[in-house]
Every structure is written in C-alpha cells, then in structure tokens.
Amino acid sequence: MKKSTILFLILLFLLVAPLFLALHNDVYLNQFMLQTTWIGYGSFSELPSFLRSAYSLGWRLLLTVEKPLLNATDPQETLAYLFQYIPHHAYVYPTETYYYYKFPLGNLTYAGNFRLLDAHEGKLHIGYYNLDQPHGDIYYTLLDADDGIYITPLDNFTFAVTYNNMERIFHLSPLASQPPQQLRTLPEEEFIAHIIDESGIVLFLLYNTNTSSFYYVLDEEKPAMDNFYKLPSSYFLGQRTSYIFYKDQEYARKILVGVSQNNIYLNNYYDGPFDQVPPRLYLKEKLEAAYPYTKYAGGIDEHGNFYSFAGSRVAISPYLDYNDTANLFSYLDRCDSSSGKSIYWSCLTYEWKKDFHKTLEQQSIQQNLTSSSDTHALYFSQGWPANHDGQISLQWPVDHTADVSSSWQPSHLTSVSLDS
C-alpha cells in the first residue's frame, strides 16, 4: 500500500472517528440531533458549533476506556455519569432551557434533561424517566453548591458548570426575544416569543388581542426543518415531526393546528411546542384572558406559574392532538373562513381548556337562577364551538347546551339554534 494511501486513511480516521463516536456513543444528545437536522436541511449557521462540540467530545471518548457503574435511581450519580458524555461546549437550543439526553442502562432506556432555568442562581435541575414508561416514575432533583455543583455566569446566555472536577460550558439560545422580520401580521397580533422546539422546528408564538387567543406560526425566514406533504384543503403534514399546519395563502404563513396524539402520549421530541415557551415572559393578563380557568385554579404568577401546583405552569397549546387526520379535518371544517382572519385562525387553533372554567364556574354558583338568559350566562363562551357568538346565545332557551350545538357552525344564528 502506498504511503500516500496510508496517510489518507489515517487522516480519514482522524476526521471521521471523533465525529462517529460523538454521535454514536452511550448517551444520545438532542443537541446533535438538532444540529445535524438543521445542517441537513440547509441551515449551516450551526455547523461551527456542531464541529466544536462533536470533535472535542469525540476525542475525549476515543481516549477514555473507563465506564463507571451507574445507579439510575440516584440523580447525582446519574449527573456524574452523564457529564462525561456532554461536550465541553454544550448548546441548549430549546427555548425553555432544557438540554435533552437519552441513555441505555441494561434493558432500559432513560430520557431526560438538564434544565438551566435557574443557572443564574447557581442551580441546576436534572430530571429523567424510563422511556418505556413515559408516565411512570420521574427521577428529579435540584442541585446547587451544597451538592458540589458550581455555576459561573459568563454572560446572560452562557454558563460554566463544574461538577466532580468536570467543567462544561452551556450556551443558551438568545433567539426567543427576536421578532419576525418578514412575517405579515394583523394589527391585533402581538409577538410573544420566538420558539425553538426540541424537534428542531422553529416557530413564532403570537397573541391575538381580538380573540384572546395564542397560536404558533412556522418560522419560514430560515429553512423549515421538515418536508411538508400536501393534505386536503390547505393543510400540510410534516414528514419528520407529524405536525400539521394550515397554510394561509394571502398571508403566506403556516399555522400549527395538529400534533400527533401518539407523540404526546410518548412524551417525545415531537409532542408539540407547548413545553418550549420561554419561562420568564410576563404573560399573566394574556393567559387569564385566553384561559379563564386559571383564576379558579389558585391563580398564576406573572410568568404563568400556578400558585397551587408547584413546578407547573399554564401550557400554551393552541392546536389539536389527532390520531386520525380525517377526524381532525372534519372538526376543523366547523370554522368559517369568511369570518375574518382573526376569528378563523383562532378557530383553527381552538383548544378545549380555553373553556375549562365552565365546570369550575358551575360549581361555584348557587343553583337559584330562574330565567333562561341567566342560566345560559353560566355557559357564556364555555364549551361552545370556537368563536360562538355569546351575546346572541344569551337569548337561547335554558336547555340549549354545548353538547347540543357541538356540531354546529361557529357563530350560528339564533334562529338556527332555536330550530335545532
């Protein structure tokens, strides 16, 4: 074999081996999935970050032979194990500050994340679960200096985290506050956040002041991280994510309307962007307007965290979970495209918990109402088809319930109601 050939093979090994080890080791990192997905779809801005992370990790793994035993029920022991497989420069893309991972242990596979929400306070969250039991036990703890975690802020989006004499630099994304540059919007639409989903899909979260509704619009100012297939009417299905979008031709936007029910159950990377809304937004008034039930459920703070449910906040999930596209389209057909963009888009993205306060209000009001208008007021905009005209509905009889009108068109007329 020629020396030139041998030299070429050595160089090839030195180039490929570290990358292969970084991408195919015992710990699967969502960071690399996102970076390789974006690069594969033609967005090369993260190529330097990918190479920076992958090469350093690959060489470390190439030179390391020891694999310590792991008791996965101990979060601190798990953290020490995982830290060996985290690149020195780790990139946290999802906008709720989660750094996701998966790792096998025996016959089981665990999935979880580090969360850097409180990194500026010197705290690191770690949580994970058995991937085969997505709704089973969760192993979680919050660690700080008392546990041997030392965090040094390098800037607003960069933190040096040291544990067991291992330092890792976590880079958070600054994208969340950057509004759309080209998206045509309505006067009543407000930009809330730029969302990076753990699936790799990037979206704009908007709020409509006319309808008190949120919805997600695909960011198409950069390559869309999916291949979209045309479905009936103006709907498109993402091949990779199974997300379904409605495309509005006039406004050249794709609005998220459907997420796979199976992905939601599995709690995987394609379960919808509700869990990637940046955590420090001041949304109390908008959340209470969009989801009145929050006033009954113990209240929420300025960022949408429930006072009565520690660690929980309002999920902004204005889309339907579907397991059958025909049923999804049948339900979306109730929306009237002639009703105006605000009403139509808000109808397409209607979510049941906007009206969850129906039950809570019913429980809190004495049953001494006599007139039909008073009784119906209990159900005003509660449980009705999206964009139901509540003012007209106050004229309807006492036995006119949401169940009766569930199949009717939005904002149907009183005369239709009385005859049905």
| Predicted pLDDT at 195 | 97
Do 205 and 340 reside in the same domain of the chain? yes
Do 185 and 114 reside in the same domain of the chain? no
Q: What percent of the chain has pLDDT over 70?
A: 79
| Boundary (domain end) residue, out of 119, 144, 172 | 172
Do 168 and 87 reside in the same domain of the chain? yes
| Predicted pLDDT at 19 | 83
Angle of helix 47-63 relative to helix 30-40, nearest 10 degrees?
Answer: 140
C-alpha dist (Å) from residue 23 to 14, 52, 60, 102, 281: 15, 13, 13, 12, 34
Report the alpha-carbon distance of residue 414 to residue 420 in Å, rounded. Answer: 10
User: In which band, very low, low, confident or very high, does the pLDDT at 5 lie, cut at 50, 70 and 90?
Assistant: low
Range of the domain at 219: 176-353
pTM: 0.81
User: In which band, very low, low, confident or very high, does the pLDDT at 393 lie, cut at 50, 70 and 90?
Assistant: very low
Do 121 and 94 reside in the same domain of the chain? yes
Give alpha helix (H) positions in 267-336: 284-290, 325-332
| Boundary (domain end) residue, out of 124, 147, 172 | 172
User: How many domains, the chain?
Assistant: 3
Do 140 and 52 reside in the same domain of the chain? yes
Mean pLDDT, rounded, for 171-175:
96
Do 116 and 191 reside in the same domain of the chain? no
Do 343 and 405 reside in the same domain of the chain? no
Do 45 and 91 reside in the same domain of the chain? yes
Residue 129: both structure tokens together: 């679960």
| Predicted pLDDT at 367 | 42
Most confident option among 63-77, 241-255, 259-273, 331-345: 241-255
Determine phi and psi for 294, rounding to 5 degrees: -60, -25
| Predicted pLDDT at 252 | 95
Do 312 and 202 reside in the same domain of the chain? yes
C-alpha dist (Å) from residue 388 to 11, 149, 239, 419: 67, 53, 34, 17
Do 20 and 77 reside in the same domain of the chain? yes
C-alpha dist (Å) from residue 335 to 235, 342, 353: 14, 12, 18
Q: What is the pLDDT of residues 24-74, one digit of tens each?
A: 888 999 999 999 999 999 989 999 999 999 999 998 888 875 666 678 888
| Predicted pLDDT at 188 | 97
Do 270 and 322 reside in the same domain of the chain? yes
Closest CA to 217 of 229, 203, 227: 203
Do 88 and 226 reside in the same domain of the chain? no
| Boundary (domain end) residue, out of 329, 353, 377 | 353
